Structure formats: C-alpha cells, structure tokens
Structure 1
C-alpha cells in the first residue's frame, strides 16, 4: 500500500450522484463484486510500479476483465486525486 493512498469517495450527504470518473463507481462495484477501495488500491500500486495511465487501463482489462470505461474511470480518478 502506498503512503499517498487514494480513498474512495464518501456518499454525498444530499444523496446526489457523483460526477466524473466517480460516477462509474456504483456500477463497477455491482458488476465486478469488489469494493471501489480495492480497485483504487490496485490501481495505485500499479501506477507506483511505473505503469502509465494506458498501461494500467490495459492491465485492468486483461487481468481483471474490466471494461475500458470502468478501467479508465478508476485510473483517471486515482491520477486526479494524486495530482491534487
């Protein structure tokens, strides 16, 4: 686990739906059966190992059978949170 762990977003207090990459998270959990935090941790580790955005997307697709949009949303979310 990395020191700069990217945490999954908390549910919005007003019940509104998230926007951007996080808007995919409910579907990702339902479709693939793992909590978003697990996916975010996997992506973080992969990026820490030197993978690029598209290499991490390809890895999620081949090793974990995620669809392109879901994989891209996870990687984009992690990278955006790390960027600040």
Structure 2
C-alpha cells in the first residue's frame, strides 16, 4: 500500500506559501515580527501588518492567529 501519510496543511498555516510569494519575505520573518508584538491586541497587530506592510486582511489575520495559537500551546 502506498500513499502520502502526511496530513494536508490546514488552518492559518495554509496561507503561508501564498504570503511568502506575495510579500517576498520568508514566513519566519513575518512570524518573528508578529511575535515581537504579541502583547498587543490581535486586531491591532492585524491592522499594523495591513497598514505598515501592505498585507491583506486574511493574510495578516492568519499570521497573527498562528502566532497566538503557538503561544497558548506552549
């Protein structure tokens, strides 16, 4: 029996390839930038990504949600 046993990427991380392609930076850069602002409210960080980095709402929200989920999982 053959087949791929890896689960497809879902949730916020599913946006990461498109974010890298669209905004020209590795996802680890975006995650680090958001991690540095982890003490701010979710939507404030989303707004910052949109305003200062020209990111679309869905992409910005996905990064912030991913960082926050990782923090609560620790």
More helix as a share of residues: 2
Q: 1:30 and 1:15, CA in 2 relative to 1: closer, same or farther beyond 3 A? A: farther
Larger radius of gyration: 2
Runs of 4+ in 1 over 3 A off after TM superposition: 13-17
In 2: Cα distance, 1:25 partner to 1:64 partner: 16
Give the structure-2-normalised TM-score. Answer: 0.88
Alignment coverage as a number of residue pairs: 70
What stretches of structure 1 of length at least 5 have no aligned partner? 1-12
Deviation of the 1:51 alpha carbon: 1.2
What stretches of structure 2 of length at least 5 have no aligned partner? none
Give the structure-1-normalised TM-score. Answer: 0.78
What is the RMSD of the two structures over their aligned residues, measured on CA atoms? 1.5
